[in-house]
């Protein structure tokens, strides 16, 4: 891939930097009593209360209450967090090293993620990486859906990123595993790359 004009790289989180396991999370939610978890949880774009959490329409505590209402029974906050974190496999060490190497080469790195405060509580802690570093240590700035009150692939979340960062799309590589997200990135002038969930794509930077 020709990166000669690229100054910035915008990464997605789930499926790109960390590997996702949707089926494990669905199993956990069903186990704790959310019988329609398979309908609500998606690998790319959540539905119902999960979407509302990632869009910033619900706080973390409101989300827990909404899950209990959806299930029609009491479920502890801890069990809900355990089920939601079933989505997360790990932050692979070689990918975090890749991010450090790219910054050392002079690229400005941004994260643009459809995510939520439950996952980010883990990601912003020393438990995120084996080196005890939080996610924020690997990027120049994080752009998180629940804080931006929008979701990919909506155009406005990309426009917020562009306006706030001052980046020029034609000088920016956008790396995301969601087809709809990549399509809007292309339409806005970004150079794009779409890896598969968990793929080792370091070779594109060689």
Residues with catalytic annotation?
Answer: 12
Where do the DSSP E strands lie in 43-197?
A: 88-91, 108-113, 141-144, 172-175, 191-193
Residue 104 neighbours by CB distance under 10 Å: 8
Q: What are phi and psi of 46, to 5 degrees?
A: -75, 165
The burial of 174, by beta-carbon neighbours within 10 Å (0-12 exposed, 13-18 middle, 19 or more buried), is given as buried
Helices (H) and strands (E) in the chain, counts: 10, 7
Q: What are phi and psi of 100, to 5 degrees?
A: -65, -40
């Amino acid at each position: 891939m020709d990166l000669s004009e690229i100054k910035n790289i915008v990464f997605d989180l789930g499926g790109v930097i960390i590997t996702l396991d949707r089926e494990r999370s669905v199993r956990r939610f069903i186990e704790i009593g959310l019988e329609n978890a398979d309908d609500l949880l998606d690998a790319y774009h959540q539905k119902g209360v999960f979407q509302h959490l990632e869009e910033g329409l619900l706080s973390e505590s409101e989300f827990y209450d909404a899950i209990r209402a959806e299930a029609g029974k009491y479920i502890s906050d801890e069990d809900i967090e355990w089920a939601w974190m079933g989505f997360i496999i790990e932050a692979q060490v070689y990918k975090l090293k890749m991010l450090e190497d790219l910054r050392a080469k002079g690229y400005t790195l941004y994260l643009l993620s459809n995510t939520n405060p439950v996952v980010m509580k883990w990601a912003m802690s020393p438990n995120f990486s084996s080196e005890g570093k939080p996610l924020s240590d690997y990027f120049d700035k994080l752009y998180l859906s629940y804080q931006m009150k929008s979701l990919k692939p909506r155009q406005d979340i990309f426009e917020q990123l562009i306006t706030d960062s001052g980046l020029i799309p034609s000088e920016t590589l956008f790396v995301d595993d969601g087809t709809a997200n990549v399509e809007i990135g292309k339409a806005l002038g970004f150079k794009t790359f779409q890896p598969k969930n968990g793929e080792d794509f370091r070779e594109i930077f060689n």
